[in-house]
């Protein structure tokens, strides 16, 4: 049995294709040469850290290193799942992403439809340039701007509110107000950039459709409702599905920079929790376990939503 197997596997490559891998390696040697550094990059900086995940299952000791540290099985995970802070971070991750979905998701769609209706090409182009701009500012800068315009007493917003005779609002220091501010700043930063993809979809709509609607006497709103929206529906659906897939993942900069001590009930999310527990308190195994938990949950969410996207006849991400 074993003999025939090896015999077959030796014979097969010769029968099917007369050329071994060495032939292709030689023929495409320059292409392979180009790939050496990038592949080395992915192995060293992406796949080697994946090995570091074992820290989650070890009692990591800085003097012994990853290899020699003793295994502790799932103890780190048990501790994580017993910790209130972890649940708070998990809840907040979903909370902040949920608010971004509900309020932030429609913003670029509405913006794209509005901008598309602008007749003057020049006005359109200038406004687009302005609307993209916040996307290119760092979160530190945005945090600095936010601290300034929302500052109590002489910040711009407070000054306006007071001049209208209302009381000052604790935008950044009370948790529900902070949540609204956080969401609003997110929309401010990303809506303009997000609209690009919808504008692209709108550009692809054949103009005959609009001309036919004109003949039928349709008004502008009617055309938006019956032509533009249905035409960009697939884009909306796919982006919505992909957004759901990313609901358990959250970046570090935005919650960390906008958050503060008074609102940590809402601003402490998984990414900031991992930083606090891992790098600030040096509890490497706990932080790695939380990171692994998030990666796995994220991957599951993404796979399921991508599967749904493919099933619903849309092109998923893979």
Partner 1 sequence: MAYKTSDKVFDVFINVITLICVILCLFPVLNVVAVSLSSNSAILASKVFVWPVGLNFESYKAIVKDSTMIWSLVYTVIITLAYTVIGMFLTICAAYPLTKKRLKGRNAIMLMIIFTMYFSGGLIPDYMLVKNLHMLDSSWSLILPGVLSAFNLIVLKTFFTTLPESLEESAILDGCNDIGVLFKIVLPLSKPVLATLSLFYAVGKWNSFMDALFYITDTKLYPLQLKLYQIIVNSQTVDASIGDGNISQNLLPESLKAACVVFATLPIVLVYPKLQKYFVSGIMIGAVKG
Within residues 232-251, the interface with partner 1 by CB under 8 A covers none
Q: How far is the CB of 4 from partner 1 (least distance, A)?
A: 27
Q: Which is nearer to partner 1, 139 or 178 (CB)?
A: 139
> SS3 for 257?
helix
Residues 67-106, one symbol each (x = binds partner 1 by CB under 8 A, - = not), give: ----------------------------------------
Q: Does 140 bind partner 1 (CB under 8 A)?
A: yes
Q: Does 118 bind partner 1 (CB under 8 A)?
A: yes
Non-local (6+) Cβ contacts of 225 within 8 A are none
| Rounded Cα gap, residues 227 and 116, in angstroms | 13
Nearest to 233 by CA among 221, 224, 220: 224
Q: Does 307 bind partner 1 (CB under 8 A)?
A: no
Q: Does 139 bind partner 1 (CB under 8 A)?
A: yes
User: How many CB atoms sit inside 10 A of residue 234's CB?
Assistant: 14
Sign of CA dihedral 134, 140, 143, 149: negative
> Which residue's entry shows tokens 């994946």?
50
Strand blocks (E) in the chain:
none
Q: Which of these segments, 7-15, 95-103, 121-129, 168-176, binds partner 1 (CB under 8 A)?
A: 121-129
| Rounded Cα gap, residues 258 and 186, in angstroms | 11
- Can you tell me which of 90, 96, 109, 111 binds partner 1, judged by CB under 8 A? 111
Token pair listed for 272: 């900031």
Q: Which is nearer to partner 1, 207 or 315 (CB)?
A: 315
Using CB under 8 A, count the residues that bind partner 1.
93
Q: Does 196 bind partner 1 (CB under 8 A)?
A: yes
């Amino acid at each position: 049995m074993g003999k025939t197997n090896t015999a077959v596997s030796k014979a097969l490559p010769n029968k099917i294709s007369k050329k071994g891998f060495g032939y292709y390696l030689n023929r495409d040697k320059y292409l392979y040469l180009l790939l050496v550094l990038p592949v080395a990059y992915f192995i060293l900086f992406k796949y080697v850290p994946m090995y570091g995940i074992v820290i989650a299952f070890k009692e990591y000791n800085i003097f012994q290193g990853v290899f020699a540290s003793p295994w502790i099985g799932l103890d780190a995970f048990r501790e994580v799942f017993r910790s209130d802070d972890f649940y708070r971070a998990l809840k907040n991750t979903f909370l902040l992403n949920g608010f971004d979905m509900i309020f932030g998701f429609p913003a670029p769609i509405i913006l794209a439809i509005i901008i598309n209706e602008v007749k003057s090409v020049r006005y359109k182009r200038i406004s687009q340039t302005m609307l993209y701009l916040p996307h290119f500012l760092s979160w530190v800068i945005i945090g600095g701007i936010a601290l300034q315009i929302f500052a109590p007493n002489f910040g711009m917003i407070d000054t306006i509110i007071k001049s209208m005779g209302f009381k000052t609002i604790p935008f950044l220091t009370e948790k529900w107000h902070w949540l609204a501010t956080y969401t609003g700043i997110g929309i401010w930063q990303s809506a303009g950039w997000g609209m690009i993809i919808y504008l692209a979809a709108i550009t692809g709509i054949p103009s005959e459709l609009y001309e036919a609607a004109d003949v039928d006497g349709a008004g502008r709103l009617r055309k938006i409702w019956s032509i533009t929206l249905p035409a960009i529906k697939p884009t909306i659906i796919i982006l919505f599905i992909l957004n759901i897939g990313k609901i358990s993942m959250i970046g570090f900069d935005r919650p960390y920079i906008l958050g503060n001590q008074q609102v940590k009930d809402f601003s402490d999310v998984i990414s900031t929790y991992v930083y606090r527990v891992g790098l600030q308190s040096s509890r490497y195994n706990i932080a790695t376990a939380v990171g692994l938990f998030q990666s796995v949950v994220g991957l599951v969410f993404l796979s399921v939503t991508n599967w749904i996207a493919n099933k619903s006849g849309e092109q998923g991400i893979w």
